[in-house]
Amino acid sequence: MKTNKKVLALKYRPQVFDELVGQNIIVEAIKKSISLNKIPNAFLFTGIRGVGKTTIARILAKSLNCLDKKKNNCLNNTCDNCNQISESRHIDVLEMDAASKTGVDDVRDLIEFSRYGPTSSKYKIFIIDEVHMLSKQAFNALLKTLEEPPEYLKFIFATTEVNKIPITVLSRCQRFDLIRINFDELLNFLKKVVSAEKKNLNEEILKLIVRISEGSVRDSLSLLDRILLSIEEDGGKLDLKSAQEIFGYFDKSYVLDIIYEILNGNEEKVLELYKNIYNQGIEPKLFINNFLEILYCIKNYKNINDLNSSLDFSDTDKKRIENLANKVDNKTLLLFWEFSVNIIGEINLVSNQHLAVEMFLIRLMYLNKENLEEITPNKNLNDENNIQKSQLIDKAYKDKLDKDNNDNKTVNQIKFSSQEQEKIEIDDQKLLDKTNINSFSDLILICTSKKEIKLKFELENNVNLISFKNKNIEISFNENLDKNFIKNLTSKLLDWTGERWIITLSKKIGSITKKELEINNKKNDLKVLKNSNEYKKAITLFPDLEVINVENLKDENNE
């Protein structure tokens, strides 16, 4: 486990199965297959970055070729084979990076090399990292050898994107899914590393590193490396706040503060809190993702009544979350969630994304500023108050949607928020340039004028009209209709007319398509022409005469 490497991720890279962190089940399964001599032709290790895919592949290669047959686990007294494999210089263990060698020629060279038996060990082993990067032709070239390799040949694959590997390859491998390392195991591992490095580091900083690394051992060691380097430069201890600044990380309690102030309708305080987060250099999407995580915890606290230890919450924060969970109804939380998910897509449309986040927070406040009761830690809300509060939310949301239209009709339920948001945007624009569409022919003409050629093609070739009236189009269609046709047509009609149209799909047999109608008309015109005296005279003079374009003939006659 200890080598002369300066980088922690390499210095503390496991060299034997017993040193692997958090993959006990997989390790036991592999050890069992080796002890019973039931070794598959190919192993496939998949999982997120930094959980030990390549490491476990090398350890497996060492176990298969270890000279000490009793233990297969060189730790203190390493054999020559294990030393050479650890240093990537063993002649019978070839490690290839598929990210840089993706072609079929590389695989053919590999297959050609596999024809020769091992020179100094029991197995010839090919370790292919990021195997999903191989081309389709390379995978095909590998199939036969992979299914029936020589007895001395073993394949070990590692990948982060197993879904990109053809099923024909997957079926020939024994697959092992490496899990994320859980919070406690990774924390204990980092404590051992800090102790081995003879450093004094606050446990809260180690917990922060574990949270940021998201179950990746390599990421956690890289972050720890950065912290230890900072300690050496400063020549002293590092506090949690300084560590958060180094990682560009902020305490989720700030988001809790913002949610409290939103529910209290305190606009100035909300913007002030967000600007403090902004000044720390936090990216808008990171803030929104943390905002969503807090909403999730509040919503599900009643059900799970427990917060995972990996979440960044102090005991005080947990009490505040519990308080919010007991006092904020589900409808409010779901509305907040919907607006938060929508803003992730909207902020990409604005050059200054932080302004978009500020406006997003103000929009959330609109639901609460004048209509919701103030949330306080010691206030108990009974069922009647909850019902009243839910009604106030309904009213606040309905007033926002009907603000510009002065519509006094009763709204019975809150509609899907993304649809209503589209309606708000349309109302605000006043739809100055409305287009009247009164028939199916008008619809095709407007598609032509708006240069919507694909939509026009679908209408003319794949749509059978049943009825067209009162912003309601009923159609049937053939199997060639584009799957996004309804969505595209509805969106364009909304843009062109400023009103919502209903497109109904029916099993009725509608009228023939415009293209079919044109074909039938040409056939009829041709039939009429062939029955005419002019055609009979012409065919007498020219027996090989063939009419190919009736319209042009008509045009010439008209001239």
Identify the band that residue 399 occupies on the pLDDT scale cut at 50, 70 and 90: low
What percent of the chain is modeled with pLDDT above 90? 15
Provide the pLDDT for residue 279.
Answer: 81
Segment (H or E) for 58: helix 53-65
Looking at the DSSP bridge assignments, the partners of residue 399 are none
> Sign of the CA dihedral 315, 319, 325, 326?
positive
Torsion of CA 201, 178, 83, 28, to 10 degrees: 110
Give dist(CA 546, CA 528) in Å, integer.
15
The amino acid at residue 543 is P
8-177 and 183-247 in the same fold? no
Least confident range of 94-108, 295-309, 355-369, 396-410:
396-410
Residues 514/447, Cβ–Cβ less than 8 Å? no
* Distance, CA of 374 to CA of 260 (rounded, Å): 9
Query: Is 1.20.272.10 the CATH classification of the domain at 253-402?
Result: yes
| pLDDT at residue 412, rounded to an integer | 39
Domain map of the chain by residue range? 8-177, 183-247, 253-402, 440-505, 514-558
497-530 burial: b if 16+ Cβ within 10 Å, else e: bbeebeeeeeeeeeeebbeeeeeeeeeebbeebe
Fold designation for 183-247: Helicase, Ruva Protein; domain 3 (1.10.8)
Question: Which residues are CB-contacts of 230 (< 8 A; sequence separation ≥ 6)?
Answer: 238, 242, 246
Confidence of residue 418 (pLDDT cuts 50, 70, 90): very low
How would you class 368 by CB atoms within 10 Å of its CB: exposed for 0-12, middle for 13-18, buried for 19 or more?
buried
Q: How confident is the model at residue 380 (pLDDT cuts 50, 70, 90)?
A: very low
Residue with tokens 């199965």: 17
Range 329-339 average pLDDT: 86
The answer to whether residues 396 and 367 touch, using CB atoms and an 8 Å cutoff, is: yes
Beta strands in 267-402 (DSSP E): none
Query: Looking at 215-229, 280-294, 412-426, which range is the least confident one?
Result: 412-426
Supply the DSSP string of 473-541, one letter for each residue: EEEEE-TTS-TTHHHHHHHHHHHHHSS--EEEE-SS--PPPHHHHHHHHHHHHHHHHHTSHHHHHHHHH
Query: What element of type H or E holds 270?
Result: helix 267-279
Q: What is the pLDDT of residues 281-315, one digit of tens each?
A: 778 888 888 888 888 888 887 565 555 554 556 67
Instruction: Give the tens place of pLDDT for each residue, 421-460.
Output: 444 444 444 444 567 788 888 888 888 888 888 888 888 8
Sheet holding 153-159, edge to edge: 93-97, 124-129, 153-159, 42-46, 174-177
Query: How distant is the alpha carbon of residue 110 from its chain centre?
Result: 35
**Cβ neighbours of residue 542 closer than 8 Å, sequence gap 6 or more:** none
Alpha carbon distances (Å) from 140 to 40, 73, 108, 453: 20, 35, 11, 40
pLDDT at 302: 59
Residue 146 predicted with pLDDT over 80: yes
Q: Are 121 and 31 in contact (CB under 8 A)?
A: no
Nearest Cα to 252, choosing from 222, 220, 217, 282?
Answer: 282
For the domain made up of 8-177, give the CATH fold.
Answer: Rossmann fold (3.40.50)
Q: How far apart are CA 377 and CA 80, in angstroms?
A: 67
pLDDT above 60: residue 190: yes
- The pLDDT of residue 434 is 61
Q: Euclidean distance between the first and final Cα of the chain, in Å?
A: 95
Nearest to 224 by CA among 200, 205, 237: 205
